[in-house]
């Protein structure tokens, strides 16, 4: 703590992010996400930080009853991962109440982009792109009708920086594009970008998965002044190009 000195505001982005891993091992997810958040809050208090901006998740909503999903929707997570994020939000509020640390929770929807770890729906885009580049079938869980609200990583960075810098109320914000796309549509778009006629392979649905997700981004627009600026096509193309460069580099090293 002495080496760090005074800190005004903190962005807490670290987490175990796999929904499926949280189902398999809820204790580990809780230790990393909830206890980890308490450690960050304790450090923020010791360093006299005035605000903590927390990377929360749309997973806190569970299975929504109304769409698009607004921040005042009920918090009812259906996975240990979502539960860990909801619990962390509550701890932020408790530290605000007891220690005066401003609490801002950014409920990221489906973030994608270069350097993303390919795993389940958290990284379905990188999974699709890698398989497409290798001319392998694209695996779809369920019938592909599930929708997601994807947001490009640079837009998420912009929103997070705004939340750190702007004078605003302590509250939660949906960070998303406000647009939905089905997983099947996503797979077909990836086929077009990679220009490969790939097989689509369907598998049973994943445990803890939800059928639909689209955010109401009104609050982010009006209070943060944030609007996602990257189109789905542009974001997918950039991500695919980055992954393709990695594939070419790997092949060169092997050769």
The residues annotated with a catalytic role in the active site are 81
The C-alpha atoms of residue 33 and residue 105 are separated, in whole angstroms, by 14
CA nearest to 173, candidates 36, 55, 18: 55
Task: With beta carbons less than 8 A apart as the criterion, state whether 162 and 101 touch.
Answer: no
Task: With beta carbons less than 8 A apart as the criterion, state whether 89 and 105 touch.
Answer: yes
CA nearest to 15, candidates 71, 60, 47: 60
The token pair that represents 133 in the structure block: 């580049």
Exposed/middle/buried for residue 203 (C-beta within 10 Å: 0-12, 13-18, 19+): exposed
What distances in angstroms separate CA 198 from CA 22, 51, 182, one per listed residue? 31, 48, 18
CA nearest to 14, candidates 47, 48, 55: 55
Question: Which residues are registered as beta bridge partners of 55?
Answer: 106
Q: For the sheet containing 51-57, what is the strand order?
A: 9-12, 51-57, 102-108, 172-175
> What is the signed CA dihedral for 235, 241, 243, 247, rounded to 10 degrees?
170
Q: What crossing angle do the helices spanning 124-133 and 183-194 adopt, rounded to 10°?
A: 40
């Amino acid at each position: 703590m002495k080496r760090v000195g005074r800190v005004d505001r903190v962005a807490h982005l670290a987490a175990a992010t796999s929904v499926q891993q949280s189902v398999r091992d809820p204790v580990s997810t809780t230790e990393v996400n909830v206890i980890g958040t308490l450690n960050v809050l304790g450090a923020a208090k010791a360093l006299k930080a005035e605000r903590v901006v927390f990377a929360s998740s749309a997973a806190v909503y569970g299975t929504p009853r109304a769409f698009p999903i607004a921040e005042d929707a009920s918090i009812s997570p259906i996975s240990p991962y979502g539960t860990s994020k909801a619990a962390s939000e509550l701890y932020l509020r408790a530290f605000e109440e007891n220690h005066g640390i401003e609490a801002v929770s950014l409920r990221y929807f489906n973030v994608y982009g270069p350097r993303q770890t390919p795993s389940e729906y958290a990284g379905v885009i990188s999974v699709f792109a890698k398989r497409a580049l290798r001319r392998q079938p694209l695996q779809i869980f369920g019938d592909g009708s599930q929708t997601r609200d994807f947001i490009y990583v640079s837009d998420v960075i912009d929103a997070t920086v705004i939340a750190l810098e702007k004078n605003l109320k302590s509250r939660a914000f949906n960070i998303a594009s406000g647009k939905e796309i089905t997983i099947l549509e996503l797979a077909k778009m990836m086929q077009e970008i990679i220009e490969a006629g790939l097989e689509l392979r369907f598998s049973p649905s994943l445990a803890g998965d939800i059928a639909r997700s689209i955010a109401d981004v009104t609050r982010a627009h009006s209070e943060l002044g944030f609007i996602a600026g990257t189109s789905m096509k542009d974001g997918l193309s950039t991500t695919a190009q980055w992954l393709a460069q990695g594939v070419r580099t790997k092949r060169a090293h092997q050769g």
